[in-house]
Structure 1
Amino acid sequence: MRKLITTFAILIAVLVAGMCTLVLLVNPNDFKHYMVQQVEKRSGYQLMLKGDLRWHVWPKLSILSGPISLTAPGASQPAVTADNMRLDVELLPLLSHQLRVSKVLVTRAVLQALPDAAAKSTNTGPIAPDEPSSFSPSLGHWSLDIAHVSIVNSLLIWQDPQGEQLNFRELNLDLHQDESRVGHYRLSTALTRNQQTFSLDVEGQMDARHYPFKLAFSVDRGDYQLQGVSLPEQGVKGQTSFTAQWSPRNNAFDLTNFTLQANDSDFSGEARGRLAPSLQLALTLHAKKANFDQLLLTRHSVTQQTNADDSTSTDNTVISTHRRSPVVVEENNRGFIDWLNHSEISSELTADQATWHGVTVSKLALSAQNSQGMMALKTLSGQVGDGHFALNGSVDFRPELADVQIHTDLQRIPLQIVQPLLQIPPVLHGDISLLGQFSGRGLQGKEILTQWQGQSQVELLSLDIPRMNVQQMVIDAVTRASNRVNSDPKLHPVIPDMRGEFTLANGALQLTRLQGENAQVSLNALGNINFAQRGLDITFNLLTRGWKGDPEMLALLANQPIPLRFYGPWDHLQYSLSVDKLLRSNLKSRLQQWLKDNDKSKHTP
């Protein structure tokens, strides 16, 4: 044991002595011109080393520099600047006049991916793919090999195709590569923009054998988190993985085996395209579950109005309609629209289950093509409960308010879903079917109702108006006006399914026809709903069955529709139901007709 310890001590002493001798005999500044020369030969970049180089012997033999800068050919600004740089070198190659750098460490660097810092090509001739001349492993008597590059606590300034600069702070990059330029990397950084912070920590494999013509890499593990305003309190976070190829010369990329987990959503698919001069993207995604309420940057807050008891009575009575009325508030999404206006995007999205504005949609399918803000919506379809919907058309996002041309096919969609989305009081229950064509400006609920126009066939199915049963209102009014008839107490009036058409223009919906019939009642409605002024004027004509009593009154009620008119503002609605006057008028006309017929019979020979 004593001999072993002695041997180790001798080796350490020799090593220390050799390093000290090297420090004394070799001036690191002798390599300064060589490093500048080799960097320029290999890459064309101009390396500037300010101040003297100096040795650092512990824990590794290293060369330390002062401030540095690295400038691309023809660029007006350096691509990289740093306060200092450390080169870990190998001892034995130095003895044979070789500078073998095992690691480059740069701290507090500023990396600029800006047009002014980009290389300006002067070569107008063709370049053969994967031309090896710029990447010779050795030049002259010296050789330069770097296996490990580390960038710590640095800043990356990147300019997107629209000219906006993004600052990626707290940038840390660690890259190991072998002699063939295949290696492993780890990258972490954070981006703050519009009061939102995106943090990223990824690692994977990288193949730079064909760079700058092609760079292949994979993200084997990627953790991210997005926090800030207009996002859920816990933010959006999850994991991602994919395989990618990047072609720097034409800014093209290709992603395959893409997976993304975001909160309780998951996506898989592929993407390809290019970043400059404008974004071009072809995206294909599938999700088993997609909760867009937790993913979209635009938050939708819903406020509830207070409840108040409804009150109804007879003629010209005020009806209070202060019910629970969700109001959807959309925040400014102009940034997203500006992004669309400068992009070419083809998207294919399918989801087994999706959530949007609290609505669960199954078998969601979206196919759209955006060209510089002009979007062709090939299909947007899905199932909601027992119903389904399908939309297609076009949306022009370039104006301040989007221009929309849309064809709608809704089948049995619950009104409880449609009314809040359109920002109208949820006073009706049931399902709606629409088959129509519309055009207009804007995509928000209020804009759809006030700035769209078009026409549609409509069906109202399983319709109910809570606390306001129009059939019962008519029955009560008739029995109060006349004691000669009464309704069957076993009957429970149900509004029939109704079908018809309507037109929409200038914020007003005009019912051109709406009618329905069941065993208890025949009903038709005419009138209009003014969404701009939040008022309506609609008359329901009801022919109610199931009466008992005087035969003459029964005959009258069997053929005389009774009008029930609703009118006024939504929050101060009134109705008119003059049954007694109507019955007296009809009885009088019937009596006159009977007298006339009786008189004719007397004068008939």
Structure 2
Amino acid sequence: MLRILLYIIGIPLLLILLAAILLPLVLDEEQLLALAAERLEQSSGAQLTVHGDSRLSLLPRLALTLDEAELALPGKDQPDITVQRLAVEVRLLPLLSGTVAIKGIELAGLVATVPAQPAQPAVDTSTLSDAELDAFYEARRQAVRDAAANSAGAALGLPLALNVQRLNISDARIVLLQADGGEPRMIELVALTATDMNLAGEPAALNLQLRIPGANPVALSLDLRFSADLDQQRVQLQSLVADIEGATRQPLQLRASGPVDLERQVAELELALESGTMTGAGNLRYASFESPQIDTTLQLSELNPALLVLAGPEAATEAGDVEADGDAPLPLHALRLVDTRAALQVERAVFGLHSIEQLQLKLRVVEGIATLETIRGRLHGGELDASAVLNGQHNTARLETRGELTGADTALLLAALEAQPVLSGSASLDWQLTGSGRSRNELVQGLDGTVELTTGGLALEQVGIERLLCQTVAQINQEPLQTELPTRSEFESLTASITLGQGQALLAPLRAELAHLSLLGEGNFDLASAEFNARLEAQLSPDLASLDPACRVNERLTAIAWPVNCSGSPDTAPAGWCKVDSREIIRELASSELQRKAREEGGKLLQRLLQRDQPATEEDNP
């Protein structure tokens, strides 16, 4: 794109300079144009053909106007350029003294057709083996080193320090032919206006409207105020405002200012972003030949896919929309194209169904490894403090994460998951997990590690565990209940040690304390189906009768373990999740009774035996 613009601007200027050189020799327009074209071909190899009119004026400014002109550049891989109208105007007196003072350049109806370049298939890292991926990273590191070494003395520059008072390009198109003969790609330069262009460090301005048509058209509007110093190889952006539509889901406005070192290809910019409801501000450092290539600190109102543009155009293009299918391959190819370090402060970040408030995020992404050193914020009313590493260097990604979430509101969590509102209270988690896989579902199924769960003020709706046990006790006592017992369970405490592996979460031990009983047992949760089951043993408190007189218990009832079996899924009615195994209780009571009687009978027998074997006393033997 830059090379084509240099052709568009530089070649007309070369024509006007040749015309000025030949002006003292000939004043015939046609002969002058023919000589200028001949000199142009001799000096550059470019062939100029004018199919329309040509006009040359002398005073007070030297102006050359060409209609229906065609320029063929030397070499088969050079673009062909046609223009409906070209007008170049320079001041005559400065020109005669050897100074180029350009009043204006106007181009209308420009078409630049760029031949297809030799096929350079892009490397799709998702098709490489692990060994080939290692070679890919090394080759890219070497390419960056070579580019940095070759950049010295080869910085961007122009052959002439031009003073262009006005540059207007309208209705221009750049046609990029495809090597495979496919549909050409098109770039429409709707309008470009530049004023006071110079390379001496004086202020200049540029306005650009560009459009890329297609199935998802992209439009760019750019307003730039800058100064360029060719001697210092430095550009100072006083103000850059870019409005982009189509590249992201919401239109994006980017504002920037700061210095650009052309020789080192380093830009250090102050940024402001706006896309939809997202706003942000901070700074960004871009360095072509350094790592990280992009280093940014931003304060944002929310996270937004538009931020992918800050990870680089390749990564933004490759990432696209995140696949909703959990079995789809992880977007590791996009991750491998990023070399970024970022420190973000986000008022609100949404990840799927979960929202984190006041998020602090420090991350480093390079060669397929995303290291999230800091993840802090408020998640569902609780405090989150975690870290994670996603290693996507090879085809099977590996995840390592540890952290804690304290005081999360379970009602907010269920609302975010669009699940039934059956829980209230707070929950805290402390975890250390690893996992591996090639898709999101494989990562989840492959999670391995431990999670510690504690709760506070937890209440379970539609599942009255005390009610279930009280009803069973009343049946044993053969008495009817006199009160309506609660259909919810209020836990004084609930804790669980959770071990993850092979797609399952084993809760062992699982402990719970209620006002009139305690529970101890273990459970299992299937990560894929969200189905759970648990086998618990309840120990009844003597004051269970405070719920209802029919629930009174004695030592025999408090001495046994009361089996409580729970199973279900978030899609089933909570009222049917838990049941008391009354048959096992009856067997336990019968066994306890037999043992009691055996002990009583055994005690009586032992007493008689002891009495029989006891030696006679003098009183017994007169």
Same fold (TM over 0.5): yes
Any idea what SS the aligned residue of 2:596 has? helix
Give the percent of matched residue pairs that are identical in Structure 1 and Structure 2. 13
User: Does the 8 Å contact 1:300/1:357 carry over to 2?
Assistant: no
**CA 1:31–1:482: 2 relative to 1, 3 Å:** farther
How far residue 183 of structure 1 moved from its aligned partner, in angstroms, is 0.9
Q: Pairwise mapping of residues 566-577 of structure 1 onto structure 2 (< 5 A)?
A: 566-567=566-567, 576-577=579-580
Task: Specify which of 276, 286, 298 is matched with residue 263 of structure 1.
Answer: 276
User: Does the 8 Å contact 1:93/1:100 carry over to 2?
Assistant: no
Amino acid at match of 1:540: L
**CA 1:331–1:553: 2 relative to 1, 3 Å:** closer
Q: Distance in 2 between matches of 1:172 and 1:435?
A: 58
In the TM superposition, what whole-angstrom CA distance separates every residue of 1:274-293 from its partner, at most 9, and x where no partner exists?
Answer: 35799821111112x21548
Task: Specify which of 207, 210, 218 is matched with residue 189 of structure 1.
Answer: 210
**Structure 1 position 402 matched with structure 2 position 397:** yes
Q: Pairwise mapping of residues 107-118 of structure 1 onto structure 2 (< 5 A)?
A: 107=108, 108-110=110-112
User: Does the 8 Å contact 1:359/1:417 carry over to 2?
Assistant: no
Instruction: Give me the CA root mean square deviation.
Output: 4.7
**CA 1:411–1:300: 2 relative to 1, 3 Å:** farther
Any idea what SS the aligned residue of 1:135 has? coil
Show the counterpart of 2:620: none
Q: Pairwise mapping of residues 494-573 of structure 1 onto structure 2 (< 5 A)?
A: 494-532=490-528, 535-545=531-541, 546-548=543-545, 549=549, 553-567=553-567
User: Does the 8 Å contact 1:204/1:219 carry over to 2?
Assistant: yes
Any idea what SS the aligned residue of 2:463 has? coil
Any idea what SS the aligned residue of 1:147 has? strand
**Structure 1 position 252 matched with structure 2 position 252:** no
**Structure 1 position 207 matched with structure 2 position 227:** yes
Q: How many residues align?
A: 522
Q: Distance in 1 between matches of 2:491 and 2:151?
A: 79
- Stretches of structure 1 lacking an aligned partner (at least 5 in a row): 1-21, 138-144, 160-164, 302-327
Task: Specify which of 335, 339, 356 is matched with residue 340 of structure 1.
Answer: 335
Amino acid at match of 1:259: A
User: Does the 8 Å contact 2:565/2:581 carry over to 1?
Assistant: no
Show the counterpart of 1:142: none
Amino acid at match of 2:209: S
Any idea what SS the aligned residue of 1:217 has? strand
**Structure 1 position 393 matched with structure 2 position 388:** yes
Q: Pairwise mapping of residues 230-249 of structure 1 onto structure 2 (< 5 A)?
A: 235-249=249-263
In the TM superposition, what whole-angstrom CA distance separates every residue of 1:426-449 from its partner, at most 9, and x where no partner exists?
Answer: 865544322121111359764443
**Structure 1 position 105 matched with structure 2 position 89:** no
**Structure 1 position 578 matched with structure 2 position 596:** no
Show the counterpart of 1:290: 302
Higher helix share: 2
**CA 1:477–1:95: 2 relative to 1, 3 Å:** closer
Amino acid at match of 2:534: I
Q: Distance in 1 between matches of 2:31 and 2:164?
A: 19
Q: Distance in 1 between matches of 2:393 and 2:274?
A: 32
In the TM superposition, what whole-angstrom CA distance separates every residue of 1:368-426 from its partner, at most 9, and x where no partner exists?
Answer: 11111112221112112531112213112244553211113222334456569889988
Any idea what SS the aligned residue of 1:495 has? strand
How far residue 490 of structure 1 moved from its aligned partner, in angstroms, is 7.9
Q: Distance in 2 between matches of 1:174 and 1:217?
A: 17
Amino acid at match of 1:579: S
**CA 1:460–1:265: 2 relative to 1, 3 Å:** same
Any idea what SS the aligned residue of 2:593 has? helix
Any idea what SS the aligned residue of 1:236 has? coil
Q: Distance in 1 between matches of 2:34 and 2:393?
A: 55
In the TM superposition, what whole-angstrom CA distance separates every residue of 1:84-113 from its partner, at most 9, and x where no partner exists?
Answer: 451232575599698854222233343869
User: Does the 8 Å contact 2:327/2:439 carry over to 1?
Assistant: no
Q: Distance in 1 between matches of 2:38 and 2:411?
A: 71
**Structure 1 position 148 matched with structure 2 position 195:** no
User: Does the 8 Å contact 1:389/1:409 carry over to 2?
Assistant: yes
Any idea what SS the aligned residue of 2:478 has? coil
User: Does the 8 Å contact 2:410/2:427 carry over to 1?
Assistant: yes
**CA 1:126–1:459: 2 relative to 1, 3 Å:** closer
Show the counterpart of 2:131: none
Show the counterpart of 2:237: 217
Q: Distance in 2 between matches of 1:507 and 1:346?
A: 33
In the TM superposition, what whole-angstrom CA distance separates every residue of 1:538-583 from its partner, at most 9, and x where no partner exists?
Answer: 1122234442258983323433332211347776787552225414
How far residue 186 of structure 1 moved from its aligned partner, in angstroms, is 0.6
Q: Distance in 1 between matches of 2:563 and 2:31?
A: 102
User: Does the 8 Å contact 1:202/1:219 carry over to 2?
Assistant: no
Task: Specify which of 476, 481, 502 is matched with residue 471 of structure 2.
Answer: 476
Amino acid at match of 1:135: L
**CA 1:218–1:75: 2 relative to 1, 3 Å:** farther
**CA 1:125–1:282: 2 relative to 1, 3 Å:** closer
TM-score norm. by structure 1 comes to: 0.71
Q: Distance in 1 between matches of 2:56 and 2:558?
A: 107
**CA 1:348–1:81: 2 relative to 1, 3 Å:** farther
Amino acid at match of 1:561: A
User: Does the 8 Å contact 2:447/2:502 carry over to 1?
Assistant: yes
Q: Distance in 1 between matches of 2:30 and 2:94?
A: 11
Q: Distance in 2 between matches of 1:391 and 1:344?
A: 22
User: Does the 8 Å contact 1:49/1:68 carry over to 2?
Assistant: yes
Amino acid at match of 1:600: G
In the TM superposition, what whole-angstrom CA distance separates every residue of 1:439-473 from its partner, at most 9, and x where no partner exists?
Answer: 11359764443121111222244434433333333
**CA 1:247–1:347: 2 relative to 1, 3 Å:** same
How far residue 170 of structure 1 moved from its aligned partner, in angstroms, is 4.1
Show the counterpart of 2:193: 174
How far residue 519 of structure 1 moved from its aligned partner, in angstroms, is 2.9
User: Does the 8 Å contact 1:547/1:554 carry over to 2?
Assistant: no
Amino acid at match of 1:63: T
Q: Pairwise mapping of residues 485-500 of structure 1 onto structure 2 (< 5 A)?
A: 493-500=489-496
Any idea what SS the aligned residue of 2:491 has? coil
Q: Distance in 2 between matches of 1:450 and 1:112?
A: 50
How far residue 214 of structure 1 moved from its aligned partner, in angstroms, is 2.9
Any idea what SS the aligned residue of 1:78 has? coil
Task: Specify which of 599, 604, 617 is matched with residue 596 of structure 1.
Answer: 599
Show the counterpart of 1:371: 366
**CA 1:130–1:263: 2 relative to 1, 3 Å:** closer
Task: Specify which of 160, 163, 184 is matched with residue 135 of structure 1.
Answer: 160
Q: Distance in 2 between matches of 1:383 and 1:157?
A: 50
Q: Distance in 2 between matches of 1:405 and 1:582?
A: 45
User: Does the 8 Å contact 1:50/1:68 carry over to 2?
Assistant: yes
Any idea what SS the aligned residue of 1:467 has? coil
Amino acid at match of 1:597: E
